[in-house]
Amino acid sequence: MIRYCLALLATALGALAAEPPTKRSFLMLGGVTQIVDADGKVVWKYPAETRDGCVLPNGNVLLTLHKSDAYPGGAVIEVTRDHKVVFEYKGTQAEVNTAQRLPDGRTLLTEAGDHPRLLEVDAAGRTLVEIPLQCTAKNPHLQSRMARKLPDGHYLVPQDRLVRELDATGKVVWEYRAPASKLDNRTFCALRNAAGHTLISLTIGNQVVEVDAGGKVVWELNQSDLADVPLTRTTALAWLPNGNIVFSNYEARAPRPKLVEITRDKQVVWTYVDGTKFGVHEFQLLDADGKPLAGALR
């Protein structure tokens, strides 16, 4: 019996030892815009600074561009892999901070400036939906961050120290206010799962919190949870079907990881480190074929 138990234990340990390490491919958005494969090799680049974006099912890439001489108000563009622009929306204010391609082919974006607003535009760049955003901040950079449209037609909009859920008319139907902190908590990303819980990154404060429909914190990540991973402005998030969470460390520079994947019990299972000075503002996880990772919320 003892020999049998030892044999089972050896088999189990062998299986664990043989389990390959987690590898991730992803689209990186920020000071550099590039796709990195699972071996850490850069396989595609775009010569612009970006804020948000995603690889589309057709292989093209949707990008939110930082303001530049060509786009003084920022922009959202869709490009082919050989950099041909096939869709363009030029920002009309200080910044454009979101890009989400919707199932009906429209593109969701937010503009920040004197008249902060959320827009849905068609393939020709014509505005089909316009919702003025109520903002507590005059600084355009804080008026809206990574906004997302939900399956029920509502919108989640992180802005300054709040996350607001807006209905189709722009009415605030839910709100989460970041707790007071010496590090000045500001919301950056908000993801809503099928259970109605919302995962929120609190940049500067270096926290990630999961709250229920009533706004109660049911899970959180703080620096004290990750002794070996210094948190340096938690920004973008991905919520995986297995419950794992990937977050970006915006100000991390080597040897600190720029992307970190953790389990629900806060065990680190994957990190990404590179030698560049550029932070990861947003990211999208991809599968082995370079397509959006199925089931990942972002």
Q: What tens digit of pLDDT does each residue of 258-287 get? A: 999 999 999 999 999 999 999 999 999 999
Residues 178/162, Cβ–Cβ less than 8 Å: yes
* Residue 15 φ/ψ, nearest 5 degrees: -65, -40
Q: What is the pLDDT of residue 79?
A: 99
pLDDT band at 181 (very low <50, low <70, confident <90, very high): confident
Return all residues near 93 (Cβ < 8 A) that are at least 6 apart: 73, 111, 112, 113, 114, 115, 116, 140
CATH class of the domain defined by 27-286: mainly beta
Long-range CB pairs of 124-129 (<8 Å, 24+ gap) are 125/87, 125/88, 125/89, 125/90
pLDDT band at 176 (very low <50, low <70, confident <90, very high): very high
Q: How many angstroms separate the CA atoms of 232 and 67, rounded?
A: 24
Q: Is 41 helix (H, G, I), strand (E, B) or coil?
A: coil
Average pLDDT over residues 17-40: 90
Q: What is the pLDDT of residue 182?
A: 63
Task: Give the residue carrying structure tokens 């065990």.
Answer: 267
Q: Residues 156-175: pLDDT tens digits?
A: 999 989 999 999 999 999 99
> pLDDT at residue 12 above 70?
no
C-alpha torsion sign, points 198, 199, 203, 206: positive
Q: Residues 216-258: pLDDT tens digits?
A: 999 999 999 999 999 999 999 999 999 999 999 999 999 999 9
Output the average pLDDT for the chain.
Answer: 93
> pLDDT at residue 3 above 80?
no
Residues 126/106, Cβ–Cβ less than 8 Å: no
Q: How many angstroms separate the CA atoms of 268 and 260, rounded?
A: 7
Residues 259/248, Cβ–Cβ less than 8 Å: yes
Task: Give the residue carrying structure tokens 């809503």.
Answer: 192
Q: Whole-prediction pTM value?
A: 0.92
Give percent of the chain with pLDDT exceeding 90: 86
Q: Residues 100-145: pLDDT tens digits?
A: 999 999 999 999 999 999 999 999 999 999 999 999 888 888 889 9
More confident residue, 184 or 147: 147
Token pair of 171 as six digits: 């009415």
Q: What is the pLDDT of residue 200?
A: 98
Q: Residues 50-80: pLDDT tens digits?
A: 999 999 999 999 999 999 999 999 999 999 9
Provide the residue ranges of all domains of the chain, joining segments of one domain with +: 27-286
pLDDT band at 19 (very low <50, low <70, confident <90, very high): low
- Cite the beta strand spans of 103-185 per DSSP E: 107-112, 117-121, 127-132, 148-149, 155-159, 162-166, 172-177
Q: What is the pLDDT of residue 185?
A: 85
Cα separation values, 182 from 154, 166, 179, 185, 205, Å? 32, 29, 10, 8, 8
Cα separation values, 223 from 206, 207, 212, 230, 234, Å? 7, 7, 22, 7, 10
